[in-house]
């Protein structure tokens, strides 16, 4: 795996950013937009994935990066659960649900892959910091 110089180079971060944009878009419409609790919670979860990847990277230490990636993965799980609620309430249709779940799962797998690499590598220090 290559050394990252900027968080924007990390594919999991790129995919999380695109997913966050989609979440904001779908939560701006219809009944979803009026369910302030769910709307805000799913948005916070989407932002959390993106933000925790970035924060962990910027901390510079591999141990901290692993810790923040684990938090990001947890937020992806939270977003997955919230998508079920949105679908159950008919805020999103089956097609939107399937696409979004696929995207969340992909982000989660990408984070998990990066976590696995970092844990197995034994890399210490500031290898990932600019």
Say which CATH superfamily domain 9-120 falls into. Answer: 23S rRNA-intervening sequence (1.20.1440.60)
pLDDT in tens, 23-37: 999 999 999 999 999
Report pTM. Answer: 0.89
Question: Cβ distance 66 to 115 under 8 Å?
Answer: yes
Residue 106 has pLDDT above 70, yes or no: yes
pLDDT value at position 127?
Answer: 47
13-18 average pLDDT score: 98
Question: Cβ distance 52 to 108 under 8 Å?
Answer: no
Looking only at Cα atoms, what is the longest distance across the chain? 49
Comparing 64-73, 87-96, 116-125, which segment has the lowest mean pLDDT?
116-125
Using alpha carbons, list the distances in angstroms from residue 108 to 11, 13, 22, 126, 127: 12, 11, 16, 24, 23
Q: How far apart are the first and last CA of the chain?
A: 16
pLDDT-derived band of residue 123, with 50, 70 and 90 as boundaries?
low
| Spans of all domains in the chain | 9-120
């Amino acid at each position: 795996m290559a050394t990252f110089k900027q968080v924007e180079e990390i594919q999991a971060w790129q995919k999380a950013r695109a997913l966050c944009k989609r979440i904001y878009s779908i939560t701006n419409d219809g009944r979803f937009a009026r369910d302030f609790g769910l709307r805000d919670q799913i948005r916070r979860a989407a932002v959390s994935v993106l933000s925790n990847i970035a924060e962990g990277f910027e901390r510079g230490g591999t141990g901290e990066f692993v810790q923040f990636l684990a938090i990001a993965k947890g937020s992806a799980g939270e977003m997955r659960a919230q998508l079920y609620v949105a679908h159950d309430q008919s805020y999103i249709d089956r097609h939107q649900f399937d696409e979004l779940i696929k995207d969340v799962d992909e982000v989660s797998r990408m984070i998990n892959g990066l976590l696995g690499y970092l844990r197995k590598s034994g890399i210490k220090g500031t290898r990932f910091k600019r």
